[in-house]
Structure 1
Amino acid sequence: MDGYNDNIHQQQIDKLQQLFPEVVTEGKIDWQKLQVTLGEAVDLGERYRLGWKGKSDVFAAIQEKTVQTLHPDRANSVDWDTTGNMFIEGDNLAALKILHKAYYGKVKMIYIDPPYNTGNDFIYNDDSKQTRRSYETEAGITDDEGNVVRDDGLRTNTGGHKHSNWLNMMYPRLFLARNLLRQDGVIFVSIDDNEVHNLRLMMNEIFGEENFVAQVIWEKVHTRKNSAQYFSYNHDYVVTIARKKDEWKRKLIPRENNSAYSNPDNDPKGVWKLDPIYANNPYDADYVISKPTGEVMSRPVGRYWRFSEKVWLQKVQDNAVVWGKRGAYPMVKRYLSDVQDGLVPQTIFTREFAGDNALANTELKNILKMESLFDYPKPTQLIKRLMQISTDTNNGDVILDFFAGSGTTAHAVDELNAEDGGNRRWICVQLPELTDEKSEAHKAGYRTIADIARERIRRAGAKIRADQANKLASRDTPLDLGFRAYRVGDSNFKQWNELVSDPEEIRQQTLANLDPLEEGATDDDLLTELLLKRGISPLAQIERYDNFCFIPSEKLAICLAHSMTEELFAIILATSPSCVILLDRAFGDDINLKVNLLLQAERQGVEVEVV
């Protein structure tokens, strides 16, 4: 174990080597040989593509390895021992890298509501931010004193600086997010007109244009803004792209209003509603209908029968026809039992169907008892609709939101699980962005947006438990309304926080790190980090013994004891692990004990890692 979470750069090389083993030599790509292998498929000339200032740096950001980890925060958690949900406080790029190995290909649905890039000078509060002035200087548009030396068409809140910063921030996050999706997974991204064009191009490049599904229009407000200079905007978009479109199976929206169906004649097939027997679309059936009264009717001029004569006669025989009064065309019964279980989703989400900003503000007010916490929050109904379209009820599907904001996604997952008996799980990531000191939230004690989100999720869970107590009591398994809270931070191991390659530096580091653990590191911290860096979710089932723990799904034993004995090691081996992780400090100065135990494990075919 080298301390890094995942080597994404090496993974890309490995993928290429699987396809073209002849072009990889000693871990390096022979570019000339790859060109020869691909032949005419290689095009180094001009072509259609998305480009911007700093794009090459984006790939360096993706490939940059990290030793950071997640630190458990039990004090801010709910139902720590039983929950399958995670709330992570920290930069989402770091969080995605930390989760990369453990959740690669395991997330069913991603929903994010990223910054819309409406003109703020700083795009996102992380290392990718850059002021307009520094961008213009770096791009050669202005000199060091701010004088324009090249006309780049930049105007206030427009031009390359604005879009480049946003693309630099979004690209690596979407790239990593794609890797976390299952092959039958899907990502939904809320966005407005400012960046929807760039988002589409960027996601086409990352996910493949062939995996684009839809650009949904969501009605976020219904009132007209007469003070608008040009148009009164009342919609946002939800860009929908599948990980692999051929494998993504879109679900139907549940039918919620069947009031149009009734059964006044006690038809044994159940409730029905009437459909006309003719339509506007051409159909080659042409016959006459004889009503029980003897009246004979031909199809209306310019209209067409909806059924063949054979199908029509069968409906007459099945008593599925309502003949109507004289002169009226008969109608056929459409039985609810014959229609599909749900409705195909449409690309326009009305406020009645998916809620709007006003509903979202009301939800926040009712939960947190404060007004106007966010300018344009999303309603839980919107995210519940997306889950109905893309997730299964009882397969434990994982939903990820790495721009969690006020925690709407977590709230929506918990609420939908309560409504339909589901067991979906969620992972939310939110930057500890400071609240405005003049805001109601800050005055109420919420120092960061992450604080607001955690409290909203806690209160929402309590409300669901109280409001739906009778329904929850009938579940086969208890509804999971808890979450484990984590925060992104440095490694708990000194040698991983100070990775060096020079032999003398390594020697000096070894002398300085006689105690390899960072001050204050707890067993929870160590266990979480070791699991993540082995590619195991910290939510995995763990069997706990007196001095070690065992993860059955991985046949992995982890011992964090301060001292090791032959007796303890024998107990560990009795659990039949395939691998054992031990702390180096457990051996103290007893080199012989360490060697003997390693040999004993080797004889039993057990791998041992000493950290």
Structure 2
Amino acid sequence: MIKKHGGVTEEAKKEYQYWAKHATILTGGEAAYCQIDDQGRIFRAVSMAWPNSTKAPDRYFLPLIHPITNRECPVPSKGWRNPPETMAQLMNQGLIVFGKDETTQPTRKYFLDENEDENLTSIIPFGGSDTSLLEEMGIPFDNPKPIAFADTILRSITKTNDTVLDFFAGSGTTAHAVMKLNAEDGGNRRCISVQLPEPTPEGSAAREARFETIADISRERIRRAGKKILEDEAGKLDGRAEGLDVGFRAYRLVDTNFAKWKADSGLSEDELVGLFADLADSADDHARPEALLTEVLLKLGFSLTEKIETVEVAGLSVFSVADGLVLAYLDEHTQPTLDQLRALVCEEPARLVVLEDAFQGNDELKTNLVQECRTRNVDLWTA
């Protein structure tokens, strides 16, 4: 248009502004860049008002003088966003937009060529919450974030194989949105949801529904959301429901179940004396094998998302990690025979993990296992 009108004329500016506001190929954010300055740069005018709920310091109320009428322009009710020094720099750089006269509050130029990589507008207009949806799902939670809002963010900033981290999971909206989006576009996004076990208020609907903590709500929301997504997708013709992964693992941050690792946890001298007196047992007698496996894998440098299966080898129930890369026997109450341990070694995992307590003090059994592992070039790791 500039070329058409032979320069940055008023006619070129008006024609571009009309086109930008009516072009169907532009999004709302793109259409906002509907002005051209005297240098031919496309920009939008943004407010320079103080953004916080309280008023700005007194010096942020210095009025700007209109360049034509030489009169003071209106100052925002809470002051300017920037101090007088910055406002003076903006003025010298020609970055402030004035109206026809002093009755219009000045704004700032925001150039398109400096913001072409932005994925989201600064304001996403979502109001309300998903209270009715959660009520339908049987999840009591006050003012849950709308899935539509989370969906907008995810579609704008994630690729199909990204991992999304939500440090304040709340009712589990983000995880729900991730699973829903994967179902729609065939993506394989993963979501890590973190939530402190904050107690639900006494007498609240959540407590009456037997949700003791907010974390309990998060887990159950994710569980029910996955079930709902599978049901919704099952009715579609493309048959994608069978391949959808809506499963998840839940972990709690707790102290170690292994006595030898507690020695590194900053215990006092008296506590350490008592600890080493009990080192005959390597693991907590009440710890579930799954909890022991989680600690072992973290110690070995594996992620919490590894493929884990329970398999039976020679009558022993063992964990197979990463398609047999690691085999772990973590039953501290049942002592295996040498033939059973040989069978584990014959599977030729890269690493064999056996709970120290499983030997029940039988040093000969442990020594024989070490020799079997050396023969098959299997790395033995006792926990």
Same fold by TM-score greater than 0.5:
yes
Find the partner of 2:151 among 363, 384, 400: 384
Q: Which residue does the alignment assign to 1:491?
A: 256
Q: Distance in 2 between matches of 1:458 and 1:417?
A: 16
CA shift in 2, pair 1:589/1:452, >3 Å: closer
Q: Which residue does the alignment assign to 2:326?
A: 556
Q: Distance in 1 between matches of 2:210 and 2:237?
A: 32
More strand by share: 1
CA shift in 2, pair 1:384/1:544, >3 Å: same
Percent pairwise identity: 37
Structure 1 gaps of 5+ residues are 1-278, 287-298, 307-332, 337-342
Q: Distance in 2 between matches of 1:439 and 1:470?
A: 36
CA shift in 2, pair 1:443/1:586, >3 Å: closer
- Residues 165-212 of structure 1 show CA distances to partners (whole Å, capped at 9, x for unaligned) of xxxxxxxxxxxxxxxxxxxxxxxxxxxxxxxxxxxxxxxxxxxxxxxx
Find the partner of 1:364 among 109, 112, 134: 134
Structure 1: which amino acid aligns with 2:3?
Y
CA shift in 2, pair 1:535/1:421, >3 Å: same
CA shift in 2, pair 1:456/1:564, >3 Å: closer
CA shift in 2, pair 1:599/1:484, >3 Å: same
Q: Distance in 2 between matches of 1:445 and 1:412?
A: 25
How far 1:405 sits from its partner (Å)? 0.9
Q: Which residue does the alignment assign to 1:283?
A: 3
CA shift in 2, pair 1:334/1:568, >3 Å: same
Q: Distance in 1 between matches of 2:219 and 2:271?
A: 42
CA shift in 2, pair 1:377/1:556, >3 Å: same
Q: Which residue does the alignment assign to 2:285?
A: 519
Q: Distance in 2 between matches of 1:508 and 1:590?
A: 24
Structure 2: which amino acid aligns with 1:360?
D
How far 1:603 sits from its partner (Å)? 4.4
Q: Distance in 1 between matches of 2:224 and 2:268?
A: 52
Q: Distance in 1 between matches of 2:261 and 2:270?
A: 17
- Secondary structure class of the residue paired with 2:194: strand
Structure 1: which amino acid aligns with 2:325?
K
Q: Distance in 2 between matches of 1:335 and 1:384?
A: 22
Structure 1: which amino acid aligns with 2:301?
G
- Secondary structure class of the residue paired with 1:484: coil
Q: Say which one has the larger Rg.
A: 2
Q: Distance in 1 between matches of 2:139 and 2:271?
A: 56
2:211/2:217 contact within 8 Å kept? yes
Find the partner of 2:207 among 442, 465, 485: 442
Say whether 1:575 aligns with 2:324.
Answer: no
CA shift in 2, pair 1:284/1:599, >3 Å: farther
Q: Which residue does the alignment assign to 1:425?
A: 190
Q: Which residue does the alignment assign to 1:454?
A: 219
CA shift in 2, pair 1:413/1:513, >3 Å: same
Q: Distance in 2 between matches of 1:301 and 1:348?
A: 29
CA shift in 2, pair 1:477/1:511, >3 Å: same
- Secondary structure class of the residue paired with 2:171: coil
Q: Which residue does the alignment assign to 1:55?
A: none
Q: Which residue does the alignment assign to 1:303?
A: 12
Q: Distance in 2 between matches of 1:505 and 1:444?
A: 40
Q: Distance in 2 between matches of 1:301 and 1:508?
A: 86
- Secondary structure class of the residue paired with 1:427: strand
CA shift in 2, pair 1:381/1:488, >3 Å: same
CA shift in 2, pair 1:579/1:459, >3 Å: closer
CA shift in 2, pair 1:486/1:283, >3 Å: same
Structure 1: which amino acid aligns with 2:159?
D
- Secondary structure class of the residue paired with 2:236: helix
Find the partner of 2:120 among 346, 352, 357: 346
CA shift in 2, pair 1:349/1:360, >3 Å: farther
Q: Distance in 2 between matches of 1:583 and 1:567?
A: 17
Q: Which residue does the alignment assign to 2:305?
A: 539
Q: Distance in 1 between matches of 2:10 and 2:271?
A: 92
**What is the TM-score with the length of structure 2 in the denominator?**
0.61
Q: Distance in 2 between matches of 1:543 and 1:557?
A: 10
How far 1:580 sits from its partner (Å)? 1.8
Any residues of structure 2 matched to 1:170-319 within 5 Å, and which? 279=1, 282-283=2-3, 302-303=11-12
Q: Which residue does the alignment assign to 1:606?
A: 378
2:257/2:287 contact within 8 Å kept? yes
2:257/2:292 contact within 8 Å kept? yes
- Residues 203-246 of structure 1 show CA distances to partners (whole Å, capped at 9, x for unaligned) of xxxxxxxxxxxxxxxxxxxxxxxxxxxxxxxxxxxxxxxxxxxx
Q: Distance in 2 between matches of 1:301 and 1:409?
A: 47
1:379/1:408 contact within 8 Å kept? yes
- Residues 484-531 of structure 1 show CA distances to partners (whole Å, capped at 9, x for unaligned) of 333222222233235489999878644423232213112222222211
CA shift in 2, pair 1:508/1:603, >3 Å: farther
**What is the TM-score with the length of structure 1 in the denominator?**
0.40
1:465/1:472 contact within 8 Å kept? no
1:472/1:478 contact within 8 Å kept? no
> Which has the larger displacement, 384-393 or 543-552?
543-552
Q: Distance in 2 between matches of 1:399 and 1:597?
A: 43
2:309/2:321 contact within 8 Å kept? yes
How far 1:587 sits from its partner (Å)? 2.3
**What CA RMSD, in Å, does the superposition of the two structures yield over aligned residues?**
3.9
How far 1:433 sits from its partner (Å)? 0.9
Q: Distance in 2 between matches of 1:593 and 1:399?
A: 46
How far 1:407 sits from its partner (Å)? 0.9
Q: Distance in 2 between matches of 1:554 and 1:398?
A: 25
Q: Distance in 1 between matches of 2:163 and 2:373?
A: 37
Higher RCO (C-alpha 8 Å, min separation 6): 1
Q: Distance in 1 between matches of 2:296 and 2:360?
A: 21
Q: Distance in 1 between matches of 2:355 and 2:343?
A: 17
Q: Distance in 2 between matches of 1:609 and 1:300?
A: 78
Any residues of structure 2 matched to 1:456-475 within 5 Å, and which? 456-471=221-236, 474-475=239-240
- Residues 35-79 of structure 1 show CA distances to partners (whole Å, capped at 9, x for unaligned) of xxxxxxxxxxxxxxxxxxxxxxxxxxxxxxxxxxxxxxxxxxxxx
CA shift in 2, pair 1:470/1:595, >3 Å: same
Structure 2: which amino acid aligns with 1:523?
P
Q: Distance in 1 between matches of 2:237 and 2:359?
A: 50
1:418/1:472 contact within 8 Å kept? no
Q: Distance in 1 between matches of 2:267 and 2:371?
A: 29
CA shift in 2, pair 1:285/1:399, >3 Å: same
How far 1:404 sits from its partner (Å)? 0.8
How far 1:476 sits from its partner (Å)? 7.6
How far 1:541 sits from its partner (Å)? 1.7
How far 1:599 sits from its partner (Å)? 3.3
Structure 2 gaps of 5+ residues are 16-22, 27-116
2:234/2:241 contact within 8 Å kept? no
